[in-house]
Amino acid sequence: MGLQMLMNATLLGGLYALMGIGFSLQWGISGIINLSYGAMVMLGSYISLEFFNFFHIDPFISMIMSGAILFVIGAIIYRGLLQPFLKGGIVFTLILTFAVRLIVENIILKVWSADYRTIRLVYAGSNFQLGDVYIPLTKFLTFITAGILIYLTYLFMMNTKIGKGIQAVALDKEGAQAVGMDVEKMYMINFALGTALAGLTGSLWASIYSFSPHLLGPLVGKVFIIAILGGLGNIWGAAAGGLLLGFAETAGAGFLGSQWQEAIGMVIMVSVLLWRPYGLMGKKFFG
Amino acid sequence: MGENNTILKIMNLSKHFGALKAVDEVSFEVKKGEIIGLIGPNGAGKTTLTNLATGAYPKTDGKVIFKDLDISNLKPYQIARMGLTRTFQVVKPLIGMTVEENVLVGSLYGRDKRNTDMKNASKRAKEIIKLVGLESKKDFLVSDITLPDLKKMEFARVLAMEPEVVFLDEVMAGLNPTEVTEASTLVKKIRLEKDLTIVYIEHIMKAVMGISDRIVVLHHGRKIVEGTPQEVVNNPAVVEAYLGKRYAKGIKEANNEE
Amino acid sequence: MSNNKKVNIFLLIIAVVLFIFLPRFLSGYMVRVITTIFMYAVIAQGMNIMSGYMGYLPFGNAMFFGIGAYVTAIGMSKGLPFLVVVPLAAITAILFSILLGLPVLRLRGHYFAIATIGMSAAILSVVQNATEITGGAMGTTLPIIDKDPSIVYNYFYLAMFGLMVITTLSLYFIIKSRFGFGIRSIKANEEAANSMGINTTYHKVVAWAISAFFTSIAGALYAYWMSFIAPDEVFDVMIAVNTIVIMLIGGAGSILGPIIGAFIIELFAEVAWSAFLEYHLAALGIIIIIIVFFVPKGVTGTIADFIKRKKIRARKKVSI
């Protein structure tokens, strides 16, 4: 694998890492397999698109709005739709999040159509060089931003009262309840954090790639893989999983051709499920 | 079966969870028809031992010999079918099914291969339900009955499997004194009728001492004493560390009453 | 046999006879619509035995539909007659379910569901790319039946109906049997089931094989009926979603639920399509939410609850 390919893989992996963490937190801690996650990412992209088209705001700045809006949406979805069904086994929450996906998908189709959209940044074409390797500026900025956001998430989990509350609830629900913690609130904030991360990912995505409702399904496929690779609820695990997927996809596209990408990803996921269901890192939260 | 009528042999059984030795080289034998009381404070390893014996947990070390066969590596369902069964400390009813259906499942998958067709199994289930006194509740969903009845049902379910050895894991937990006496009487009666061997895991001293032929005491995963109720009650280590002087006195009084 | 049962059987026989003669009174379009309903009912029964009765949701079960369709297409392209390929398709699906099921069914519920999605996506990808064998992403054709179209669609109507009846009857006898109690115990409390002497792995694998069997035959019939199939059509995740919704609205864990659900959903789809064309996705999404919130036990479940409540009220009156 050449150095350029390595660089491409790493830059892609960083974005995937950020994307995977949100889904992994939702599944691992709130116990919800969120089939609308891809739709949330795309919403982030479209929000940045609008901010760019109307106010000429750069997606690296409008991502804050994406994150905030998607945080609220996530909280509403969790509290209004999912919370009543947490005890009902997987069928209900799975099909409910799928219903959310359908609704969001329909909204996107109506408002923006199925056409691929892009954000044409002035600096989109520029790149800089490190030896023989070309690094596109947008991808580089995205990678750095993703890294910062991941680290901020980690700090949030480790150092804030709510973050520590979420950890406590994840490790021992009854214990947390016994000391008077509002467990449901923790689950809700965790879930909303997940959708916020999806929204942030969407904005970053929009700075580099084009996007359309067609991506809704495949994105969910990708975050499944990342979450399982990294172990559910494990931030650094998901980050590593994202990087791994970035590498697998780049190498796969390079050597096998892009049609096999999805198959490879799925085969990897099922293999990991069978061999190490707790993820490559083993059973740990937060890394 | 061995010359001395041993039906179950626990040999140097150990279970380590990382550094924690939940069960530490425990050995004892159970003779056919006995009631062995298995006691010890919370965390002593009684339920873990039950899980090991019935195949629910993999062992770290040791062997379990049942009817002269090494069952150490068998799966729970295989062990159950051989006649070694257990009830659960926290009842595990088959939710969504009625009392009768719960007992029927035990009867369908029990030991006697001849009678696992629907007709015979249903008949046997009905008999067992009558035997434990749940006939009036047989069509109730398990979600609609009280805890004592749930415990009775789990006992009935196990009996329907036609077992030879039953591990009763804290059947009395959550019952009031009247219910405890009722349960004790029921266990004694059925043990005689069905020729069962029972490993009786309990906290409530009065219940265990009054019913057991022998007692095994666990503490921190190790067996510290084995003997008749009298021997155990009089053993200084046990009395001080676990039973306490009050219990020892209470047992002596209870024994004087009989 | 109780009088109640006799009445039920009589009613069912009447229903069967009615359905057999129904096509004479309907347009070709309606016959085809109802054939599709029968087909979805079969796939939903496949879901039902796994999820409704056993508590393991095989989200990717459409893979067996696709396998059935493609084995049929490939077999017939080699000149094999339809009645020979169908058993082949079913056997292939069963083999897949056993090979994939043995490792995957020991995973907990969440993981099993996701693993089946992964498997389905992987198989889809392979079919799309193995162009020489499967015709690739563009799809593949099957021999067209050289007869009058109305004869053709009537045949498939009856065939799908027959499949639905056989599937439903089979499920009925399976659930009543000793094996059926084993399956239900797994959903009720898997740990307890194991402790009672139930070989849960065996039950899970066999249940999935049964599910695969019927689902694949539906796929085989579909392929021959349509004369043309494409990978993203027969491996579509929406097949799974639709059948889950059908199962839920009809009543999961009931024998007739999937059939009732298939009729209801198709009725809704017909009405909604013209009314909501541009919003059909959102409409389906909202329907799902409504069903889950207000009728989670489905039609049969809600009726059963209603009858139970009436019985309890009657019992209370008598005891006074």
B117: chain C residues, CB-CB within 8 Å: 178
Pairing of strands B165-169, B84-86: parallel
**If you write DSSP's letter for every residue of chain A in order, what string do you get?**
--HHHHHHHHHHHHHHHHHHHHHHHHHHTS----TTHHHHHHHHHHHHHHHHHHH---HHHHHHHHHHHHHHHHHHHIIIIIGGGTTS-HHHHHHHHHHHHHHHHHHHHHHH-SS-B----TTTT-EEEETTEEEEHHHHHHHHHHHHHHHHHHHHHHHSHHHHHHHHHHH-HHHHHHTT--HHHHHHHHHHHHHHHHHHHHHHHHHHS-B-GGGHHHHHHHHHHHHHHH-TT-HHHHHHHHHHHHHHHHHHHHHT-GGGHHHHHHHHHHHHHHH-TT-TT-S-S--
CA-to-CA dists, residue A38 to A95, A100, A268, C124, angstroms: 15, 11, 20, 20
- The number of folded domains in chain B is 1
Q: Which residues, including other chains, have CB under 8 Å from residue C226's CB and lie 6 or more apart?
A: C142
Mutate to test the interface with A, among C126, C281, C289, C291 (most CBs of A within 10 A): C281
Residue with tokens 């056919």: B32
In a domain, B138, yes or no: yes
Give the 3-state secondary structure of residue B55: coil
B contact residues 84-143, partner C, Cβ 8 Å cutoff:
85-86, 88, 92-97, 101, 104-106, 108-111, 116-118, 121
Expressed as residue numbers, the domain containing B197 is 34-57+74-227
Asked if ipTM goes beyond 0.95, one says: no
d(CA A182, CA A176) in angstroms, rounded, equals 8
User: Can you give the pLDDT at residue C68?
Assistant: 96
CB atoms within 10 A of CB C148: 9
Q: Tell me: pLDDT of A48 over 90.
A: yes
- Residues of B with CB below 8 A from C253's CB? 96
pTM for the whole structure = 0.88
Better-predicted residue by pLDDT, A163 or A264: A163
DSSP letter for each residue of C37-68: HHHHHHHHHHHIIIIIIT----TTTHHHHHHH
Asked if A8 and A249 count as a contact pair (C-beta separation under 8 A), the reply is no
Res A166: pLDDT: 92
Chains A/B: 3 or more C-beta pairs closer than 8 A?
A: no
Among residues 145-164 of chain B, which lie with CB inside 8 Å of chain C? 157, 161
Report percent pLDDT > 70 for chain A.
95
Residue range of the domain that includes C53: 3-319
Residue C319: per-residue pLDDT: 58
List the alpha helices (DSSP H) in C78-199.
Answer: 82-104, 109-129, 131-134, 149-176, 178-188, 190-195
Cβ–Cβ below 8 Å for C285 and A106:
yes
Give tens-digit pLDDT for C174-226: 999 999 999 999 999 999 999 999 999 999 999 999 999 999 999 999 999 99
Please indicate, yes or no, if residue B219 is contained in any of the structural domains: yes
Q: Report the CATH number that the domain containing residue B154 is assigned in CATH.
A: 3.40.50.300
Chains with at least 3 CB pairs less than 8 angstroms from chain B: C
Nearest CA in chain B to C52: B96
Nearest CA in chain B to C186: B94
Q: Are strands B35-39 and B197-201 parallel, antiparallel or unpaired?
A: parallel
What does the alpha-carbon distance between residue B164 and residue A200 come to, in Å, rounded to a whole number? 63
Cβ separation of B109 and C187 shorter than 8 Å? no
Q: What is the pLDDT of residue A282?
A: 59
pLDDT band of residue A259 (cuts 50, 70, 90) is: low
β-partners of residue B216 are B38, B226
CB-side neighbour CA atoms (13 Å) of A116 = 9
Say what the pLDDT of residue B254 is. 63
Question: For chain C, first and last CA: distance in Å?
Answer: 31
- pLDDT of A256 over the 80 cut: no
In a domain, residue B245? The reply is no
Summarised one tens digit per residue, pLDDT across range B149-182 is 999 999 999 999 999 999 999 888 888 888 888 8
Report the residue of B94, B98, B101, B113 to disrupt the C interface, i.e. the one with the largest count of C CBs within 10 Å. Answer: B94
Cβ atoms of residues A24 and A237 within 8 Å: yes
> Is B88 part of any domain?
yes
Average pLDDT, chain C: 90
> How would residue C275 be classed by pLDDT, with cut points 50, 70 and 90?
confident
Smallest CA–CA distance, residue C133 to chain B, in Å, is 43
- Other C-beta atoms lying within 10 Å of the C-beta of residue C268: 15
Q: C281 and A266: CB-CB below 8 Å?
A: no
Contact A263 C245 (CB under 8 A): no
Which of C108, C110, C245 to probe the A interface (max A CBs under 10 A)? C110
Q: What is the pLDDT of residues C291-309, one digit of tens each?
A: 999 988 889 989 988 888 8
Q: Which residues of C touch A90 (CB under 8 A)?
A: 57, 109-110, 113
pLDDT higher than 60, residue A284: no
**Interface mutation target, options A37, A95, A256, A283, chain C, most CBs of C under 10 Å:** A95
Tens-place pLDDT, residues C103-121: 888 877 788 888 898 889 8
Q: Are A191 and A50 in contact (CB under 8 A)?
A: no
Question: How close does chain B come to C101, measured CA to CA in Å?
Answer: 19
Residue C195: its chain B contacts at CB < 8 A?
54, 56, 76-77, 80, 85-86, 88, 92
Q: How far apart are CA A180 and CA A46, in angstroms?
A: 40
CB nearest A273 (choices: C115, C126, C292): C115
Packing angle of the helix pair C200-226, C28-47 (nearest 10 deg): 160
- List per-residue pLDDT tens for chain B, 258 residues long: 445 689 999 999 999 988 888 899 999 999 999 999 998 887 788 999 999 999 999 999 999 999 999 999 999 999 999 999 999 999 999 999 999 999 999 999 987 666 678 888 999 999 999 999 899 999 999 999 999 999 999 999 999 999 999 999 988 888 888 888 888 888 888 888 888 999 999 876 777 888 889 999 888 888 888 999 888 877 777 766 565 556 656 656 665 665
Q: How far is CA C39 from CA A238, C162, C218, in A?
A: 40, 10, 6
Q: What integer pLDDT is reported at residue C287 of this predicted model?
A: 87
Enumerate the residues of chain A whose CB falls inside 8 A of the CB of residue C292: 85, 92, 95-96, 99
Cα distances (angstroms) measured from residue A232 to each of A23, A33, C143, C270: 9, 11, 48, 41
C-alpha distance from C179 to closest chain A C-alpha (Å): 23
**Looking at the domain assignment, is residue B7 inside a domain?**
no
Distance from the C195 Cα atom to the nearest Cα atom in chain B, whole angstroms: 6
pLDDT digits (tens, 9 = 90+) for A209-234: 999 999 998 899 899 889 988 888 88
Res C81: pLDDT: 92
User: Using CA atoms, how far apart are residues C245 and C254, in angstroms rounded to an integer?
Assistant: 14
C-beta separation of A198 from A37 below 8 A: yes
Structural domain includes residue B160:
yes
A26, A76, A270, best to mutate vs chain C, most C CBs in 10 Å: A270
- Joined together, the tokens standing for residue A193 give 């954090």
Question: Is B14 within the bounds of a domain?
Answer: no
* pLDDT at residue B42, as a whole number: 76
Decide if pLDDT at A103 tops 90.
yes
Asked whether the beta carbons of residue A266 and residue C248 sit closer than 8 angstroms, the reply is no
Domains belonging to chain A, first-starting first, are 3-112+136-275 (1.10.3470)
Whether B102 is covered by a domain: the verdict is yes
Q: Which of the four pLDDT bands, split at 50, 70 and 90, describes residue A286?
A: very low
- Closest CA relative to residue B218, chosen from B36, B88, B84: B36
- A169, A183 contact by CB (below 8 A): yes
The total of structural domains in chain C comes to 1
Orientation of helix A216-230 relative to helix A235-255, angle to 10°:
120
B161 and C188 in contact by Cβ < 8 A? no
Pick from B88, B97, B110: which is nearest to C188 by CB? B97
- Report yes or no on chains C and B touching (3+ CB pairs under 8 A): yes
User: Distance from CA of residue B123 to its chain's centroid?
Assistant: 25
